Amino acid sequence: MNISFGLGTFTADEGERFPGLVRDTRVRDLRDVAESTWKLLQAWDEVLPELRRLATGPGPWQALEELRVCAPLEPGQVIQAGANYRTHVVDLAVRHSPNRDADEVRAETAEMMDRRAASGEPYLFVGLPSAITGPYDDVTLPAYSAQHDWELELAVVIGRDAFRVDRGDALGHIAGYTIANDLTTRDLVFRRDMPEIGADWFRSKNAPGFTPLGPWLVPAEFVEQHPRITLRLNGEVMQDESTKDMIFDVAALVSAASWTTPLRPGDIVLTGSPAGNGFHHGRLLRAGDVMEGTITGLGTQRTRCVAP
């Protein structure tokens, strides 16, 4: 039976970054295999059997607590899915329709999502790799707004070239999964000067550090089909949902993205946010807040918010 493990990126004593294999509380330096996690992904089919072997080998191993944990990889493309969880979409619809009967809005929105799931397509957009930061790094809340929000999401890591792949084949192009928190500045989502153009994801989602990633890239073979996504704000549960609530599953998202752009090893696909964002709770992020994001089998990231 294979021994489960994760992959990460580390530094020791402010030295250069290096890829490592994580098992329990130990890290095995992988620079003798590849110079970075991204490089491991470029030869995923050849590397994966070697990683399985090293996971049970004698090392050399280092104590995890002695290392600084960085984002597990520097991705190529960042593809993001919007409005992909049923409960989340319903909550947003009700929030944006304050003058209508809530039950009526819920019923209409549920019917719309059923149509989307049956015959529609995922809503995808592009994020910036420059927004990526480590799983334990602080994030600076920009002073141009007081409406910064959290969106904890399952992130798919591509391990094999995928271009115009069918849904039934899409999972075969995935190396593994990690955790992403897709922070969003709510009052920048829609342009007041040009409301007819729709959402402005560039300004609202891509500030430095707005995508904490990791801690680990966990190979797909070790990740359950429907992991649970949980975000705590200062210890209080805000998001807590299984990926069963997705409108379009992981295979559908990867397939849809691949029909527009070739996906390469090292690209990531964010799969959308479950219900429970700050906008829903009426409580947005403030300096001093601490977010803890956990996904079953993928570890926990911890992000502290700081003032500019």
Percent of the residues in the chain that have a pLDDT greater than 70, as a whole number:
99
Over residues 19-73, the pLDDT tens digits come to 999 999 999 999 999 999 999 999 999 999 999 999 999 989 999 999 999 999 9
Residues 116 and 73: their CA atoms lie apart, in Å, by: 33
> What residues does each domain of the chain span?
6-70, 78-84+122-306
Task: Identify the pLDDT of residue 1.
Answer: 47
For the cut 80, the answer to whether the pLDDT of residue 307 exceeds it is: yes
**Mean per-residue pLDDT, 256-270:** 98
pLDDT exceeds 90 at position 141 = yes
- Token match 């989340």: residue? 88
DSSP 145-156: -S-EE--EEEEE
Q: 135 or 106: whose pLDDT is higher?
A: 135
Q: Which fold has domain 78-84+122-306?
A: Fumarylacetoacetate hydrolase; domain 2 (3.90.850)
What average pLDDT does the segment 111-124 reach?
A: 88
Using DSSP's 3-state secondary structure scheme, residue 9 falls into strand
- Mean pLDDT, residues 205-213: 98
The CA distances from residue 208 to 142, 182, 226, 246, 285, in Å, are 9, 12, 30, 28, 16
| Distance between CA atoms of residues 140 and 171, nearest Å | 35
* Residues contacting residue 107 through CB under 8 Å, at least 6 positions apart: none
Q: With bands split at pLDDT 50, 70 and 90, how would you rate the model's confidence at 301?
A: very high
Average pLDDT over residues 166-171: 98
DSSP string, 170-190: HGGGEEEEEEEE--EEGGGSB
Coil, helix or strand at residue 103: helix
pLDDT digits (tens, 9 = 90+) for 171-192: 999 999 999 999 999 999 998 8
Does 302 or 280 have the greater pLDDT score?
302
Gap between the Cα atoms of 102 and 85, Å rounded? 18
Asked whether the beta carbons of 51 and 21 are under 8 A apart, the reply is: yes
Is the CB of residue 63 less than 8 Å from the CB of residue 82?
Answer: no
The per-residue pLDDT of the chain, averaged, comes to: 95
Is 37 in contact with 23 (CB distance < 8 Å)?
no
What is the residue whose two structure tokens read 């090293």? 54
Using one digit for the tens of pLDDT, what is the confidence trace for 227-243? 999 999 999 999 999 99
Percent of the chain with pLDDT over 90: 82
Any idea what DSSP says for residue 106?
Answer: H
Q: What is the pLDDT of residue 2?
A: 67
